Structure 1
Amino acid sequence: MDADKPLCGRDPQSTYVELAVEIFSMLADATRVRIVLALRDGELSVNSLAEEVDKSSAAVSQHLAKLRLARIVSTRQEGTRVFYRLANEHASRLVSDAIFQAEHALTSSPAHHQAQTPLAVG
């Protein structure tokens, strides 16, 4: 039988499927996607992120709290300031792939396939 075959996380019967759906749901918000994109190059404070995504600090803070609960971002405290960073490279890849898929939906020659455009995933 299949008792000795380990269940891959990408198998249709994987127990991770429902959690993956929750992660997609968490990222189904333009501000949260912009936050993930802004954090690709390193950690930022709430105020820096708010400026980067053109939202209020209060709104960004609420989104960050949700992303933190989903373990998409993590924090580092320095005095009274809190800095946010991506918890791992997968959220950045996931968002980048979604952007690339959106490019495919809009054009027959997406920028990420053109030789002069470097493929920036992380």
Structure 2
Amino acid sequence: MDREDIICDCDVLHSDVVEEVRKRMPNEDDLYDLADFFKVLGDSTRVRIIWALDENEMCVCDIAVLLNMTKSAISHQLKSLRQANLVKFRKEGKVVYYSLKDDHVKAIFETGMEHIKE
């Protein structure tokens, strides 16, 4: 396919469709936040952590051993995941356990995995 085949040479063909979509378009702040959400998922270490937490609740030490990384590196990535509202934690004595924030995160991650395996 030539590059010319994918370029539209008209101004607007379906103005009714354009207007209908424009009415439903989310505001710029929401789209910016959505882009940031996907940026957080754009890091392979964070994706590996999410995969582990999709399997089971885990503490920093166990994630570090699983991924062959330092506890400091894992903690840094978990902070990013917490700030993005993708993971939550609970304390049991001195141990902090991490898990996925909710079923939405689980569904997004698992759907993504299904998609790449097609």
TM-score (structure 1 length as normaliser): 0.68
Using the TM superposition, name which of 33-42 and 13-22 deviates more.
13-22
Aligned partner of 1:13 in structure 2 is 25
RMSD: 1.8
Aligned partner of 2:56 in structure 1 is 42
Q: Which has the higher helix share?
A: 2
**Structure 1's 12 and 61: CA in aligned 2 closer, same or farther, altered over 3 A?**
farther
1:91-106 matches, within 5 Å, as 91-104=105-118
Q: Distance in 2 between matches of 1:26 and 1:69?
A: 10
Using the TM superposition, name which of 12-21 and 41-50 deviates more.
12-21
Q: Distance in 1 between matches of 2:24 and 2:96?
A: 39
> When the two structures are aligned, how many residues end up with a matched partner?
94
TM-superposed CA distance for 1:100, in Å, is 2.3
TM-superposed CA distance for 1:20, in Å, is 1.5
1:30-109 matches, within 5 Å, as 30-104=44-118
Structure 1 unaligned spans of 5+: 1-10, 105-122
Aligned partner of 1:110 in structure 2 is none
**Structure 1's 74 and 91: CA in aligned 2 closer, same or farther, altered over 3 A?**
same
Which amino acid in 1 is paired with 2:25? Q
Aligned partner of 1:112 in structure 2 is none
Aligned partner of 1:108 in structure 2 is none
Q: Runs ≥4 in structure 1, deviation > 3 angstroms?
A: none
Using the TM superposition, name which of 11-20 and 65-74 deviates more.
11-20
